[in-house]
Amino acid sequence: MGKIVSIHSFRGGTGKSNSTANLAAHVALAGKRVGVVDTDIQSPGIHVLFGLDESSMGKTLNDFLNGKCEIKDVAFNIGENVGSDEGRAQLAGKDIWLFPSSIRGSDISQILRKGYDVNLLNTGLQTLMKEFDLDYLFIDTHPGLNEETLLSIAISDVLIIILRPDNQDFQGTAVTVHIARSLDVPNLLLMVNKAVPGTDLDDLTKQIEAAFKTSPIGILPLNFELASNGSKDLFSLSNPEHDWSKGIRKIAEVILSIP
Amino acid sequence: MDQETISQLKNIDWFDELSDDMLAGLAQKILKRTLKKDEVLFQKGDEGNSLFIINSGWVKVIARDTQGSDIVLNQVGAGEIIGEMALLDNEPRSAGVVALEKTEVLELKRVDFMEILKQQPDLALSVIRNFSSRMRYNTSYIEKITEMSKRVAKGDYSFIGETQASQKGIKQVSDQDKIGQLLAEFFAMVQGVKSREDDLKNQVEKLTLQIDESQLKEELDEITGTDFYVKLKDQAKKLREQRLDNK
Ligand SMILES: Nc1ncnc2c1ncn2[C@@H]1O[C@H](COP(=O)(O)OP(=O)(O)O)[C@@H](O)[C@H]1O
Ligand SMILES: [Mg+2]
């Protein structure tokens, strides 16, 4: 039975797309059948990490939500289109598909203007899990708590909330944690990203435990190399020795170990 | 032959490799001058055509800042040389020199120095050796500073401990040695940067993250009060179970 893993953060720029792509890649490397959906329709980003640009992008989630195609038509087979970038190249032959959102300005403004049927999104997600026989479906969500994000939280077997160690994220994360518990999400995982050098990890862990009644599954460091690589490759695959990559691998193990 | 001048020259590291004969030849060309307090030895921009050895007293090396007032770059006392570069190049003086008190200087003019060099190739060799060992010494410090700069850029300050001992040594010679001075300044700077970074880290470490409970309640109510949410909550479990059945 396949699992839906949603990755959420209160604010944008927290590292959601980078974390989602790298986690999905490790799970695919472990031999699982993996889908990655970009439901951040307003500010899509994960396609870049898988080497897609406007010219190489075929059908998108927007087309599906507009009733112009079926969800399976949106799939981009990553394992067969890995390209030459060092990290991504390791995914050659793996069972991993991306379901991208459109990056065309007109598509984005149209969907923002007209909205879409959240139930259709739900049906689409359920269908693609079945048709692609997925073990894991990773959902890169839109920050904040709009309807489609609430939906992806509600249907998640695993919800990973990414936060930066600051007050604004703490406050926002508290809201999501409460919502997720009220929606009975079976596995709620907190991950800290962009921890500045010198962070007192024990102290931060204690503060998170006190505030959210759960331990963080990882505290990943601020990673200057990742920031300068411009989200163009899968960092944890091209730089496996970096602490950030080790953190990602550990979280991937946690996801794989959930029964 | 002025025995006093010879022994004075011997104490200058520039000339310490010279034989007594060479020093004697040199001593003949030396002019002694006495400066009164506040007397100007030369000004910035003057033609530089001789070297001075401070025999007694103190001078200050000065430059003019953009506001036109003098800033003291250095103080130089007995046994030290100023203007030595003028012996080899023709550049104008890069800074001015003024006596801080009654000061005796020994002057060696470039023309005389060149004349001696022609007659005494050994002296030329000795001067060249002196220059190149200074250069090598300076280069080794530049390399050190380059290496340390790279480490600082990566946040690695471990060399501060390693090099503490030699840093003290540098401070002692730094009056004659501008590169040594640079290194000492560099260390002071790195230590300053490190302590500020440590302070910052302490602040980060002490960061207390807080949740405003009333704001949290407000935000939760806003979401959970919508029809969408009420329906979603009702369906959530069903949605998950449905998927499991589908497989
Ligand atoms: N641990 C990190 N350290 C430094 N920069 C990071 C880190 N994680 C992500 N980034 C950078 O932050 C920006 C936002 O990351 P992204 O994954 O697109 O976040 P989101 O999807 O949450 O908006 C990108 O420029 C990315 O390179
Ligand atoms: Mg994103």
pLDDT at B140 exceeding the cut of 90: no
pLDDT of residue B177: 57
What CATH number is associated with residue A169?
Answer: 3.40.50.300
The predicted pLDDT at position B206 comes to 63
Name the minimum distance, in Å, from the CA of B205 to any CA of chain A: 5
Number of domains in chain A: 1
Task: Give the span between the Cα atoms of B245 and B215, in whole angstroms.
Answer: 40
What is the mean predicted confidence (pLDDT) over A29-43? 95
Closest Cα to atom 24 of ligand 1: A227
Q: Which of B101, B119, B137 is the last residue of a domain?
A: B119
Expressed as residue numbers, the domain containing B225 is 213-246
Same domain, B221 and B177: no
Q: Do A1 and B200 touch (CB under 8 A)?
A: no
Same domain, B161 and B183: yes
Residue pair A76/A44 in contact (Cβ under 8 Å)? The answer is no
Q: Edge-to-edge strands of the sheet including B81-82? A: B31-35, B103-109, B50-56, B81-82
* Contact predicate A131/A69, CB 8 Å: no
Mean pLDDT in residue range B40-54: 89
The single residue listed with the structure tokens 């050994």 is B122
Asked if pLDDT for residue A74 goes beyond 60, the answer is yes
B138 and B98 together in one domain: no
Would you call B153 an interface residue with chain A, using a CB distance cutoff of 8 Å?
Answer: no
**Cβ separation of B209 and A155 shorter than 8 Å?**
no
Same domain, B154 and B193: yes
Going by alpha carbons, the residue nearest to atom 4 of ligand 1 is: A223
CA A96–ligand 1 middle distance (angstroms): 22
pLDDT in tens, B118-132: 877 777 777 777 777
Beta bridge partners, B58, equal B77
Q: B197 and B226 share a domain?
A: no
The pLDDT-based confidence of B84 (bands split at 50, 70, 90) is confident
What residue numbers bound the domain in which A10 lies? 3-257
Which residue from B207, B236, B246 is facing A126, i.e. has the nearest CB? B246
The domain boundary, picked from B95, B119, B143, lies at B119
Span from the CA of B2 to the centroid of ligand 1 (angstroms): 77
Whole-number Å distance, alpha carbon A227 to ligand 1 midpoint, is 6
Say whether both B103 and B126 belong to one domain: no
CB neighbours of residue A139 within 10 Å:
27
Residue A89 DSSP symbol: G
Q: Which ligand is nearest to the CA of A163?
A: 1
- B165 interfacial to chain A (CB closer than 8 Å): no
Chain B contact set for A155 (CB, 8 A)? 236, 239-240, 243
Look at A28 and B48; give whichever has higher pLDDT.
Answer: A28
CATH number, residue B109: 2.60.120.10
Contact A175 B244 (CB under 8 A): no
Query: What is the secondary structure of B77-146 as a DSSP string?
Result: ETT-EESGGGGT--PPPSSEEEESSSEEEEEEEHHHHHHHHHH-HHHHHHHHHHHHHHHHHHHHHHHHHH
